[in-house]
Amino acid sequence: MLGFEDVEDRLVEAVRTCQRYPDRERGWQRIRSAWPEISRDVLVGDYDARGGDGSSSDVALRSAAMTRQDVAEMEEAFAWLDRMDPVDRKLIGLAIAQLARGRREVPWGKLLPAMGLTKGADGLRMRYGRAITAICNAINGGNPQRDVSMG
């Protein structure tokens, strides 16, 4: 049974996995003859395995390769959004992208222009909460509190 935070964490991880996905179009545009790339420039020195000049600290480490399980979990999490209203899907995407950047809280006021609004940051927060709760309910097979007496 997945709770609110579990669904939110899975969506954040899905966005991070998606960001690590290689850009095939950019890679295709970079293809060129390999011969000039392997020729050694005596003035610069030898290249290390990651393509840097001189020491390996010149080049940032690439992120770890994705596993099949990472991609499957990403696709599963994104499939949860298929049943959502397009406006809710956009709101979830904007909010989860903020959390994936490392923020602890979503700056709801900054999302207003992207949602086409000028005010109502608290309303966005509540709508987001209802949307994530709807995903939780769909994953867990319905709302467990619907049969509970409220009186």
CA dist 135 → 81, 86, 122, 139 (Å): 8, 14, 20, 6
pLDDT digits (tens, 9 = 90+) for 67-111: 889 989 999 999 999 989 999 999 999 999 999 999 999 999 999
3-class DSSP state of 41? strand
Amino acid at 67: T
Q: Which residues pair with 106 in a beta bridge?
A: none
Mean pLDDT of 115-122: 95
pLDDT digits (tens, 9 = 90+) for 1-55: 899 999 999 999 999 988 887 776 665 555 554 444 555 555 555 555 555 555 5
- How far apart CA 39 and CA 46 sit, in angstroms, is 10
- How far apart CA 95 and CA 128 sit, in angstroms, is 8
pLDDT at 127: 97
3-class DSSP state of 112? coil
- The mean pLDDT value of the chain amounts to 80
